[in-house]
Amino acid sequence: MLESDRKGNNLTSLEREAHSWIRRLASGEASAADAVALQRWCDQSPRHAAAFSEASQFWQAFGTAGECLRHEGSLRQRTRRDGRALIGRRAALGGALAASVAAAAIVRPPLGLWPSFAELRADYRTAPGEQRHIAVADGVQVQMNTRTSISAQHEGGSATVGLIAGEASFTVSERAARPFNVVAADGRISAFGAHFEVRVTGAAACVTCFANDVRVRYSGQDLVLQARQQVTYGSDKIGSVVTVDPAVVAAWQKGLIIFTMTPLADVVEELNRYRSGRVVLLNSELAHIPVNGRFRVDQPDEALAQIERAFGVHRRNLPGGLVLLT
C-alpha cells in the first residue's frame, strides 16, 4: 500500500504484513477466504491485531485529517507517531481489545475502502469498476453495478435475493408464478413482470421503478411505485415518492455516469465507487460547486482530470490509489 512512501521509516516486518493485508483487501480481489485468513492473522497476538488496526487508521486518516494533508509529510509523521503509541497501548490492554478493534475494521471498513465480511461472503460480487450480468432465478435477470454484493435466499418458494451493498437492476419476466423479492437495508421490494433498480448506501436504500410497478415494504409501511418513480428509505422512515428521469438514473447500465448540477463533493464520492483506492476532496470551498457532465464508468480517472481542468483543482497522486484534490 504505502510502503514505498514510508521506506525511510523503518517499518517492522509485522507492520509490512499488515499493510500487505490492506493492499489485498483494497484491491477488489479479496475473497471470503482472505477475510478468514486475515482474522486468523489478527488473532495470533495483540500486536498483530494492533498492527492491522493502525494500518486501517492510516487509510481512515485520509478522510478525517484533511488539514494535516495540506502540509507535506505531516500526516505520515503524525500517523506514524500516533500509531506507535497506539500499538503499545493496545498491546498492554491485552489481546481481546486489540482483536476486537481489528475485527471492527473487517466488519466496518474505514471509508468503505474494502468489502465488509458480509460482502466477502456474498454469492455474487463485483469489484471496483466491474459490472456483471447474472440470472438469479427463472425469468429474473440482474445487472450488477460496481462494488455490489448479492446473496441468494429462499423463502417459501418465492425467488428472493439479498442486496447486501451496491446497486443492481432487476428485470422480472411476466411469466413468473410468484413475485420476485429483493431484501435490502431491512426493506423488501416485490415485483411481477417489472424492471426496477435498488441501490444500498449504508443502512439506507433507494428504489427506482422503470417499467410496470413494484411494491416497497419498510418499517411497517407499504407503497407501490409506478414507472419513472423513486423512493428512498432508512432510519425507520420511508421518504416521499419522486419522479425521475430513467435515462439519468439507469445511465450506469450503459456505462455512463450523468451529473446534473451535482455538488462536487457528491461527484467525488460517486467516482470513488468506480475505482480502487480513495479520492479525497480537501478544498471545502469547492465542495458545493455544481457539476454537469457525462463520464464513462470505466474511466473514473479521466473524469478526475476533467474536474481538475474545469475547476482549477490540484491533484496529488499517492501510492495505493489515493488521490488528494486541493
Cell numbers 482483536 correspond to what residue? 99
Q: Hey, what's the cell of 180?
A: 420476485
* Cα 315 to Cα 324: distance, rounded to the nearest angstrom: 6
Are residues 302 and 219 located together in one domain of the fold? no
Which residues contact residue 230 at a Cβ distance below 8 angstroms, ignoring those fewer than 6 apart?
Answer: 206, 207, 208, 209, 241, 242, 243, 244, 249
- Residue 224's CATH number: 2.60.120.1440
| Averaged confidence pLDDT in the chain | 81
Are residues 30 and 106 located together in one domain of the fold? yes
Handedness of CA 217, 219, 221, 225 (dihedral sign): negative
Whether residue 82 is predicted with pLDDT greater than 70 in this model: the reply is no
Instruction: State the alpha helices, DSSP H only, in 71-201.
Output: 74-93, 95-107, 117-120
Are residues 38 and 93 located together in one domain of the fold? yes
Are residues 81 and 194 located together in one domain of the fold? no
Are residues 213 and 224 located together in one domain of the fold? yes
Q: How far does CA 85 lie from the centroid of its chain?
A: 30
Cell numbers 482474522 correspond to what residue? 39
pLDDT at position 122: 86
> Residue 243: phi, psi to the nearest 5?
-95, 135
What is the number of structural domains in the chain?
A: 3
Is the model more confident about 153 or about 313?
A: 313
Are residues 84 and 100 located together in one domain of the fold? yes
Are residues 130 and 244 located together in one domain of the fold? yes
Are residues 241 and 261 located together in one domain of the fold? no
Mean pLDDT of 187-193: 95
* Cα 308 to Cα 316: distance, rounded to the nearest angstrom: 11
pLDDT at position 41: 86
- The pTM score is 0.76
Q: Which domain holds residue 44?
A: 3-119
Are residues 191 and 296 located together in one domain of the fold? no
* Cα 264 to Cα 167: distance, rounded to the nearest angstrom: 21
Candidate ranges 4-13, 80-89, 134-143; pick with highest mean pLDDT? 134-143
Domain end among 215, 249, 283:
249
Q: What pLDDT digit, counting tens, does each position of 66-81 carry?
A: 434 433 343 444 444 4
Task: Kindly indicate the confidence band of residue 250, based on its pLDDT and cuts at 50, 70 and 90.
Answer: very high
Are residues 156 and 113 located together in one domain of the fold? no
* Cα 48 to Cα 197: distance, rounded to the nearest angstrom: 42
H-helix or E-strand containing 52? Answer: helix 46-64
H-helix or E-strand containing 114? Answer: none
Are residues 21 and 36 located together in one domain of the fold? yes
**Exposed/middle/buried for 180, CB within 10 Å: 0-12, 13-18, 19+?**
buried
Residue 286 is classified by DSSP as: G
Domain end among 96, 119, 142:
119
- Residue 313's CATH number: 3.55.50.30
How many other C-beta atoms lie within 10 A of the C-beta of residue 153?
A: 15
Domain end among 82, 99, 119:
119
pLDDT at position 30: 73
Mean pLDDT of 248-271: 95
Are residues 233 and 141 located together in one domain of the fold? yes
* Cα 296 to Cα 302: distance, rounded to the nearest angstrom: 8
Cell numbers 483506492 correspond to what residue? 277
